[in-house]
Structure 1
Amino acid sequence: MATDAQQACFEAGIKFGSLYHQFAGTPVSPSSARSLEVAMAESIENQPFCESVTVTIHDDRVADAIDHENGYTELTGSLMDVEMRVELEGVTVHTQMTMTDGYPLMELVSVDGA
């Protein structure tokens, strides 16, 4: 049987996988980035035990990735940072996804109350 801390970490991983794979490939431009951030956060916050999600899509990275005349690119992990907080049975898990050595790394920041 998993501990509450292990289950909370598992839940965080599930939510990150859902966020990334649900939205990777979504068309994005600097003008649509704010609404996409909100849609991503609110979508994942619907899931059990998810207390908060913050998505930051970097306009400069998006603009640099646009390589055709249509004015958008596909969303990838390299264009955004994400922070998430999951709470389960008194355990709070803080996670983040940031670019690390050119890779969008999802990681545990802290596990409190374990």
Structure 2
Amino acid sequence: MLTDRETAIFEAGIKLGALYHQWVGTPISRRSAASVETAIEQAVILQPFVEEITVRLNRDLMKENTFGYSELSGLMFDVEIITRVRYSYCHARLNPCEGYPLMKVVECHEIPEISRN
């Protein structure tokens, strides 16, 4: 049986992994980046256990091809997500680290029982 903390961590990881694999390769341009950021946020926030999500895409990496767009790559992502399972929270992030789109747990915490009322 998993604890609420472990479940919050799992949910954060699975959401970031799904987001990454669902959106990589999406046609994108600097003009459309804001709407893609919003679309990703609005899609992920609907999922169970997601409290907050912020998506920022690095526009400097968007090099237009002959047809006027580029493809979304993992290194363009800077995503922060907070998941909550009952009183346990997980803050996780997807962002570039040494040329790799790294997903990591930033911090986890639990609201103390005395503060739950």
> Do these two structures clear the TM 0.5 threshold for a shared fold by scoring above it?
yes
Please state how far the C-alpha of 1:71 moved relative to its aligned partner: 1.3
Alignment correspondent of 2:106: 109
Report 1:31-110 matches (<5 A). 31-63=31-63, 66=64, 68-110=65-107
Question: Structure 2 CA distance, aligned partners of 1:80 and 1:16?
Answer: 10
In structure 1, the gaps of 5 or more residues are: none
- TM-score between the two structures when normalised by the length of structure 1: 0.93
- In structure 2, the gaps of 5 or more residues are 112-117
Greater Rg over alpha carbons, structure: 2
Identical amino acids, percent of aligned pairs: 41
The letter of the residue matching 2:33 is A
Q: Distance in 2 between matches of 1:94 and 1:80?
A: 16
Q: Deviations over 1:11-65 (max 9, x none)?
A: 11111111111111100000000000000011011100101111101111113xx
TM-score, normalized by length of structure 2? Answer: 0.90
Length, aligned pairs only:
111
- Please give the alpha-carbon distance, in whole angstroms, between the structure 2 residues aligned to 1:10 and 1:58: 26
